[in-house]
Amino acid sequence: MPSYDYDLFVIGGGSGGVRAARVVSGLGRRVGIAEEYRYGGTCVIRGCVPKKLLVYASQFSEAFEDAAGYGWSVGGTAFDWKALIANKDREIARLESIYRGGVEKAGGETFASRAELIDAHTVRLVAEGRTVTADKILIATGGRPSPHEALPGHELTITSNEAFQLEKLPEAIVIAGGGYIAVEFANIFHGLGVRTTLIYRGAEILGRFDMDLRRGLHEAMAAKGIEIICHDVFSRIEKGEDGRLVAHTSKGRALVADQVMLALGRTPNTENLGLERAGVKVGPVGEILVDDYSRTSADTIYALGDVTNRMQLTPAAIHEAMCFVDTAFRDRPTKPDLEDVATAVFSQPEIGTVGLSEDQAATQLGDVDIYRAAFRPMRNILPDRQERMIMKLVVDARSNRVVGAHILGPDAGELAQLLGVAVKGRLTKDVFDRTMAIHPTAAEELVTMYQPSYRIRGGRRD
């Protein structure tokens, strides 16, 4: 048997790559990992984690407003963007060193270098100008915001990458897209006092979610003062004489702002990786094609996380990494289970969701019972905030199994994490009915909706 420098070499130090490198090192195997930018990857450095910190920052404006209803008078408030970004950067640097240190403590070797494939067992470390060999190679290079090079003036725009590092907070921003990133950043900027416009090509934001939540969130965002334009796209961006940007749209709008942000999906990082040389095939958007066990078309090479374009979520990449370790290093071939994955949109109000939407259930199951409650959460009453919370259970009428749970409102992400257990555990609605409520909470609605709000039979609402 040929001998290699490593049992495993990982390309990419994000959530998936680091997890695989750390766990395989912990098994006593020789592991190397290379990251060309910063350990932690998109999630830690310029994604989920800094985003959530910005979400927290942006929630204070409403908290100050609501305080009066509870008898508090808050003095003059001021927001310092530079202070927030500096504090955020300090936390990100701390996490980055934990990520890298975790691999090293487990016995792995980390490199600050771009790595490219030379063949199915050989990797070139660009920064070190040398090659290393490995029995198995794992590609976990993630993705990046999709560019929109066909858009005239695209070079004047920013993406989420730059949004985390802006020198100053803009007075006005226009954000294109209707997905997680566009919606979350629209709420962040609005909460920080920025005049915010969202422009989306479709009929309603957040295409993959339950329609009730999509409409409910749209209404809540509009009521706060976020302008949402649907059925329109940018046609050209230009810089005016005053230095501000003008985003022209296909329907003849001219939207003036200090920053224009594109959040139009993400593209897998597969360029110039030497994939062809190593026999690794890619799909239509450049994603690495893998089988159910994260194996690529090259026997010795695996891939996971966003670079495979399966489910672009950090926990999915981590789960795929654990399955990869079982498959490739513990002799227990394990397929990632990406069914009934709970997810949250950190909008304001938040969305938390798991399982089938009403429309999906109607199409897939035909006969469905919908339990739905819409109400003002108690904490909104004294401040006279009109925002409503929506809770919805989608139940298979034949088996009585809860196949979907959808929440719009405060802490929806936290609630959806627990509802994920119930849906994954295939619990039936009568288990919800037998569960004692906790009073007074908003979540008690989930276990006290005894009668269906309406029924769907044969795919149509009764």
Question: Could you say whether residue 142 binds ligand NDP (CB under 6 A)?
Answer: no
The least distance separating ligand NDP from the CB of residue 148, rounded to whole angstroms, comes to: 6
Contact pick of 313, 323, 328, 370 for ligand NDP (by CB under 6 A):
313
Per-residue b or e along 174-207, where b marks 16 or more CB atoms closer than 10 Å to that residue's CB: bbbbbbbbbbbbbbbbbbbebbbbbbbeeebbbe
Nearer to ligand NDP, 85 or 264 (CB): 264
The least distance separating ligand NDP from the CB of residue 266, rounded to whole angstroms, comes to: 4
Question: Could you say whether residue 253 binds ligand NDP (CB under 6 A)?
Answer: no
**Catalytic residue check, 190:** no
Stretch that binds ligand NDP, among 115-123, 258-266, 388-396, 453-461 (CB under 6 A): 258-266
Which of the residues 121, 218, 406, 439 is marked catalytic?
439
Which residues have CB under 8 Å from 287's CB, separation 6+? 268, 270, 307, 308, 309
Question: Could you say whether residue 54 binds ligand NDP (CB under 6 A)?
Answer: no
The least distance separating ligand NDP from the CB of residue 269, rounded to whole angstroms, comes to: 14
Q: What letter represents residue 85's amino acid? A: I
With contact defined as beta carbons under 8 Å apart, do 257 and 170 qualify?
yes
Kindly list the strands in the beta sheet with 351-355, ordered across the sheet, starting from the edge strand earlier in the chain: 343-345, 351-355, 402-408, 389-396, 368-375, 454-457, 460-461
| Packed helices 81-105 and 15-26: angle between N→C axes, nearest 10 degrees | 30
User: Can you tell me whether residue 132 is helix, strand or coil?
Assistant: strand
Nearer to ligand NDP, 108 or 142 (CB): 142
Nearer to ligand NDP, 78 or 150 (CB): 150
| Token pair in block for residue 83 | 């202070």
The least distance separating ligand NDP from the CB of residue 89, rounded to whole angstroms, comes to: 20
Map the footprint of ligand NDP across residues 263-302, applying CB under 6 A: 263-266
Question: Could you say whether residue 347 binds ligand NDP (CB under 6 A)?
Answer: no
The least distance separating ligand NDP from the CB of residue 106, rounded to whole angstroms, comes to: 27
DSSP string, 64-104: HHHHGGGT---------HHHHHHHHHHHHHHHHHHHHHHHH
Map the footprint of ligand NDP across residues 184-243, applying CB under 6 A: 184, 200-202, 207, 233
Stretch that binds ligand NDP, among 295-303, 338-346, 390-398, 420-428 (CB under 6 A): 338-346
Size of interface with ligand NDP, in residues (CB under 6 A) = 22
DSSP string, 236-290: EEEE-TTS-EEEEETTS-EEEESEEEE---EEE--TTS-HHHHT--B-TTSPBP-
Question: Could you say whether residue 45 binds ligand NDP (CB under 6 A)?
Answer: no
Which residue minimizes CB distance to ligand NDP?
A: 179
| Token pair in block for residue 50 | 């800094």
| Token pair in block for residue 296 | 């690529």
How far apart CA 437 and CA 160 sit, in angstroms, is 40
Question: Could you say whether residue 14 binds ligand NDP (CB under 6 A)?
Answer: no
Map the footprint of ligand NDP across residues 145-184, applying CB under 6 A: 177-182, 184
Active site amino acids: 439
Q: Which residues bind ligand NDP (CB under 6 A)?
A: 177-182, 184, 200-202, 207, 233, 263-266, 312-313, 343-346
